[in-house]
A and B are shown apart, each in its own frame.
Chain A
Amino acid sequence: MLLSVKDLKVVFRTRRGPVEAVRGIDLHVEAGETLGIVGESGSGKSVTSYALLRILDAGGSIRAGDIVYGGIDLRHAPERQMADIRGREISMIFQNPRSALNPIRKVGHQIEDVLRRHNRATRGTARAKAIEAMEAVKIRDAAKRYDAYPFELSGGMCQRIVIALALACDPRLLIADEPTTGLDITTQKAVMDLVSQLIRERGMSAIVITHDLGLAAQYCDRIAVMKDGEVVETGRSVDVFTAPRHAYTRRLVDATPRDGASIRSLLPAEVRTPELTHTPSPEPLLRVQDLVKTFEGKSGPVHAVKGVSFTVHDGETVGLVGESGCGKSTTSSMVVRLLDPTSGHIMFAGEDLAKTPAKAFARDPRRASIQMVFQDATDSLNPRHSAERSIEEPLRRLAKLSSRARIDRVRELADLVGLPRHLLDRFPHQLSGGQKARVGIARAIAVNPRFLILDEPTAALDVSIQAVVLNLLADLRAKLGMSYLFVSHDLHVVRLLCDRVVVMRDGEVVEAGTAEEVMEHPSHPYTAELIAAAPRPPVRHQAA
């Protein structure tokens, strides 16, 4: 056994007294094995990994337990010995690779620092060894990249540098803390494939920390599921995914979007109700024609959207899919009339909305019929307004209601989106992520819009909350007869909710069709690449 953790407890000092972030967990990693630690935000999975290396943030300390690595007691080892172990025996890679590197030091020098610290290189050999380490992680033109600063490299390239830095001294254990967070989907796959290949080639052990059960199942030998600072279940990946024993694991498996799942099957079995049907009519509600947006950049014009056309029928849900920078957000901003297109038409219920400038649209009678649910629920709520005030805002401006009627309507909306009424007088920082998402949805539907734009409404949410919100949106669509434009980077999520899908890349539509067609038989290679990039967990065969 390479690493064993027994009854580990980590405590953080906070202003409300000590908080136990990790409450007595047991883990072990065999030589050559990859262990996945899976959990939602706040489960204590990252804290566990920092505790192993004793690099906890200020205020955190190991309260109890044993950490033994290769016979060394890591909990009680002197700091000097610990510093020798870090980077040479155990090393770590991080999320958001760009910020994980020193912004004002050349990446090559940062690798050299580690090599020289652990006596793997001298002043004379450091450069050559650093380039060697960069080549080992498949960086082309390593000698040229050596002199680059992190800001000059893409996110994926930065993550390779971080991996090169971690593996430079041939450690025996690699800890990867959400290594794909902050990267584009296609890059995510490349990075994970690289990491797992390097682990296999070098016969290393690894711990992969992730919120994505599917990703863990695909790349890890064993999985430990964490919740509220405790390990609720450990087992072989296939077993955990196909035959979860703990109720929480089951819920997590259910909520993970996967091949063949329906939107209701994301919910725990005991709360599943029959799916409400919605019937799209063949009448077009929104017709976007040759929409173009060109921004004035410092170094010439930037063509964000280059002539996009698509149609949304009355009662239909259309997915707008692409990676960051593909122009999907710019397109949705123009459709919702927050941004003026350079050229093109936005035909809505027979009228061209592009004729009314965005500036004047706030007082346009058609304002109420097109609304939006924003990506980040926290950012989209005014921090100084209570939930009630936020939901009420569009009613004040766009509906002619008495203040009495407004209050009634806010309560009705709260019931409709499943927000307990007693939470209405709370401020955003007093609400959970899921509750904030509900407030955002209630505000968007307050004035009975016919058309709702959903801008990655679940991107910032844990999977179990994502499942709930997606189902809420499906129910509202059926109950209120709204049409949706669902903007997302995740084809698996889009497929659950959408009738048709439009795939964008570099400001252009590369493929459009029914969700079935696009997912099963992508006609464009880029679409195929996007589909292949999503993790493929083992399929679970279940009766229910």
Chain B
Amino acid sequence: MSDATAPAPARQSTLGHIGYVLRDNPVTLVAFLMFALLIVLAFFGPMLAPYDPLASNASRALEPPSWDHWFGTDNLGRDILSRVIVATRLDLTISVAAVALSFIAGSVLGAVAGYWGGWVDAGLSRCLDTIMAFPLFVLAMGIVAAMGNTVENIVYATAIINLPFYARLVRAEVNIRRNAGFALAAKLSGNSDARVLALHIFPNALPPMMVQVSLNLGWAILNAAGLSFIGLGVRPPTAEWGIMVAEGANFIVSGEWWVALFPGMALVLAVFTFNLLGDGLRDMVDPRRRT
């Protein structure tokens, strides 16, 4: 007896699949390269910067880009290129820390609510609804204003406004798998509910989570920069993209475009990278595109 007539689908390695997605969509490849560049700048930024980002030089204030200062200088004569490079670490740290916090808290809350349901679920849903009832940037403004004007509080505020996305996503992913055959089979194999949830269901919810992480990293950067643009969080003279754009904004109407343009472009590139990366990851984990 055999069912050899039904040929098994050919085996396919994960690497092969990634390769296919990258070939199919060169934009994703570009995103991966830009991501690598961001990581390098975040780790080695201070070593790569040609000048001290805080050293001012009144005699060379507001100079347009030149061979000495590729991105020009600001109103205090500081080198904009150095400040843009050095700011990478701070901006990435804020967004990574915020996303990590909301990822962990959201996963736990969402998984518990999605698996057991009941009053835990109802309570969590009400809380998330209340958070989502605020325009999220406005809520972040309120939180930072209330808790104090520090970098840590920007992280907490960003984490809180991201929390509903993770909690809801995990809740939905866990909920649809709660009664999946493999979860029931795991129970029959002697696994307690907690083990079924942690070892069988949750790992299957990870791929869509990773997509969300990537998209949220970009959004977290935008958020942090937006807060410092209106004077919350990071304070001058610290090098941070949002603040630098805010400082440059005053010179735009008089034609000194470089002060705002370069930090702004850095911001755009970073967010763009994470958004494209999220798209690429989505293609990679989407089961419909697989096989």
Contacts and interface: CB of A to CB of B under 8 A. Distances in A.
Direct A–B contact in the complex, CB atoms closer than 8 angstroms = yes
Contact of A367 (B11, B184, B190, B200): B190
Nearest to B291: A429
B187 A362 contact: yes
Interface residues of B, number: 31
B26 interface: no
Interface string B196-235: 0000100110000000000000000000000000000000
A384 B180 CA distance: 14
A418 interface: yes
A98 B212 CA distance: 33
A358 to B, nearest CB: 8
Given A359-B193, A397-B190, A432-B3, A380 B8 contact: no
Contact of A431 (B2, B8, B185): B8
Given A380-B181, A472-B1, A429 B186 contact: no
Contacts of B2: 271, 418, 468
A390 B181 CA distance: 12
B185 A374 contact: yes
A432 B204 contact: no
B6 A381 contact: no
A276 to B, nearest CB: 13
Contacts of A37: none
A376 B181 contact: yes
B181 A374 contact: yes
B44 interface: no
B20 interface: yes
Contacts of B193: 359, 362
Contacts of B204: 382-384
Interface in B243-274: none
Contact of B8 (A367, A374, A384, A426): A426
Interface string A422-451: 010010011111110000100110000000
A479 interface: no
B1 A338 contact: no
A443 B187 CA distance: 12
Contacts of B12: 430
B130 interface: no
Given A382-B182, A384-B203, A432-B8, A338 B3 contact: no
Contacts of B182: 379-383
B6 A432 contact: yes
Contacts of B55: none
B191 interface: yes
Best-buried of A363, A393, A431, A435 by chain B (most CB within 10 Å): A393
A432 B190 contact: no
A163 interface: no
B42 to A, nearest CB: 31
B9 interface: yes
B11 A397 contact: no
Given A372-B188, A383-B182, A465-B3, 5 more contacts: A368-B190, A380-B180, A384-B204, A397-B190, A398-B190
The 7 A-B pairs at the shortest CB distance, nearest first, are namely A380-B181, A397-B190, A434-B3, A394-B189, A379-B181, A374-B181, A382-B182
15 contacts: A271-B1, A362-B191, A372-B188, A374-B185, A379-B181, A380-B182, A380-B185, A381-B181, A397-B190, A430-B11, A432-B9, A434-B3, A443-B189, A468-B2, A471-B1
